[in-house]
């Protein structure tokens, strides 16, 4: 499957739902208000998709700010190593987001957002400079290869979807304490099937199709998102290895929680990122 199709399947439903929600909301408003809101939204979306306004768009969508002079000094060694392989400024602009997680994410045409947790780990000495460079390089590779080119625009368009989803995840987090909640979610196909049958018997075919589509998306969307995430991980890991930070990324991943995903990345990286000792016949 082409890469663009994988991404479309992963982000398309959120965009469609958000556009429909905004359209229905505007349809209930007076005509002058609709015209004004449409102009404002069009300008904002144009700015989000335009390279010259990528910084403000990253601030809105990602909550990212510019690097402070002190932070730039603290990351000087990391930035130097990234610049040597074409993955640092000015080709890639670093911005900062407050987060305790050590990480970096690409956004737009040339923006990489690093966490304050990464900077603090470098300052404390908990994260070696080359490992920090490998983490940032992973995001920079995706940016340089154009895999995040439209992400800020997509983030703006799908804002209603993202807000709704965040609220649902929070509610689900609370509901996990309720007995049988998780079992009911896993068996939602039964609930959907019953609702579809009842809607068809009542002559509401359109409603039945809508329920069936929602049920199908609840199963398909996580699969599509996971597949796109895997594409990004493989592309980033391969680019990091080609840039000469493969060993450092392996060292960083070995400090992360041992999940199936981390294990798969290590297995893919170790042959290309480390040299195994060669076996040979010893002779005198």
Order of strands across the sheet that contains 104-107 = 65-66, 93-97, 111-115, 104-107
Phi, psi (degrees; rounded to nearest 5) at 106: -85, 150
When pLDDT is cut at 50, 70 and 90, the band that residue 30 belongs to is confident
* Cis peptide upstream of residue 4 (ω within 30 degrees of 0): no
Closest CA to 78 of 134, 125, 142: 134
Q: What pLDDT score was predicted for residue 201?
A: 87
Q: In sequence order, what DSSP letters do the residues of 201-246 get, joined into one string?
A: HTT-HHHHHHHHHHHHHHHHHHHHHHHHHHHHHHHHHHHHHHTT-H
Hey, is 206 helix, strand or coil?
helix
Q: Is residue 12 part of a domain?
A: no
Q: Is residue 92 part of a domain?
A: no
Of 128 and 29, which is predicted with more confidence? 128
> pTM of the entire structure?
0.82
Q: Is residue 222 part of a domain?
A: yes
Whether the Cβ atoms of residue 197 and residue 205 lie closer than 8 Å to each other: no
Q: Is residue 5 part of a domain?
A: no
Q: How many domains does the chain have?
A: 1
Average pLDDT rounded to a whole number, residues 244-250: 94
Q: What whole-number distance in Å separates Cα of residue 137 and Cα of residue 242?
A: 11
Domain that holds residue 243: 178-268
Phi, psi (degrees; rounded to nearest 5) at 126: -75, -25
Whether the Cβ atoms of residue 111 and residue 55 lie closer than 8 Å to each other: yes
Q: Is residue 279 part of a domain?
A: no
When pLDDT is cut at 50, 70 and 90, the band that residue 280 belongs to is very low
Q: What whole-number distance in Å separates Cα of residue 238 and Cα of residue 115?
A: 22
Of 118 and 206, which is predicted with more confidence? 118
The least confident of 30-39, 64-73, 131-140, 248-257 is 30-39
Q: What whole-number distance in Å separates Cα of residue 255 and Cα of residue 102?
A: 11
Sign of the alpha-carbon torsion through 96, 98, 103, 107: negative
Q: Is residue 220 part of a domain?
A: yes
Closest CA to 227 of 252, 261, 277: 261
Q: In sequence order, what DSSP letters do the residues of 149-181 get, joined into one string?
A: TTHHHHHHHTHHHHHHHHHHHHHHHHHTTSTTH
Phi, psi (degrees; rounded to nearest 5) at 111: -110, 135
Question: How does pLDDT run across 120-172, given as a tens digit for each residue?
Answer: 999 999 999 999 999 999 999 999 999 998 888 888 888 888 888 888 777 76
Q: Is residue 20 part of a domain?
A: no
Q: Is residue 139 part of a domain?
A: no
Whether the Cβ atoms of residue 234 and residue 3 lie closer than 8 Å to each other: no
């Amino acid at each position: 499957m082409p890469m663009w199709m994988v991404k479309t399947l992963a982000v398309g439903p959120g965009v469609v739902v958000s556009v429909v929600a905004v359209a229905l909301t505007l349809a209930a408003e007076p005509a002058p208000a609709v015209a004004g809101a449409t102009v404002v939204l069009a300008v904002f979306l144009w700015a989000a998709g335009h390279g010259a306004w990528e910084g403000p768009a990253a601030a809105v969508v990602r909550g990212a700010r510019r690097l402070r002079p002190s932070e730039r000094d603290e990351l000087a060694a990391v930035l130097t190593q990234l610049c040597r392989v074409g993955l640092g400024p000015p080709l890639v602009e670093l911005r900062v987001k407050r987060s305790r997680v050590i990480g970096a994410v690409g956004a737009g045409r040339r923006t990489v957002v690093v966490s304050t947790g990464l900077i603090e780990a470098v300052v404390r000495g908990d994260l070696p400079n080359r490992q920090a460079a490998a983490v940032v390089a992973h995001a920079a590779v995706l940016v340089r290869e154009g895999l995040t080119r439209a992400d800020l625009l997509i983030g703006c368009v799908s804002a209603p979807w993202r807000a709704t989803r965040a609220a649902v995840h929070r509610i689900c987090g609370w509901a996990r304490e309720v007995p049988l909640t998780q079992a009911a979610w896993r068996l939602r196909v039964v609930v959907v099937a019953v609702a579809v049958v009842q809607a068809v018997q009542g002559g509401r075919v359109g409603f039945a199709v809508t329920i069936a589509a929602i049920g199908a998306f609840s199963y398909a969307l996580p699969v599509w998102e996971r597949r796109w995430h895997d594409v990004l991980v493989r592309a980033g890991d391969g680019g990091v290895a080609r840039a000469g930070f493969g060993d450092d990324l392996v060292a960083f991943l070995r400090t992360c929680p041992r999940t199936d995903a981390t294990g798969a990345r290590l297995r893919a990286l170790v042959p290309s990122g480390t040299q195994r000792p060669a076996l040979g016949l010893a002779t005198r």
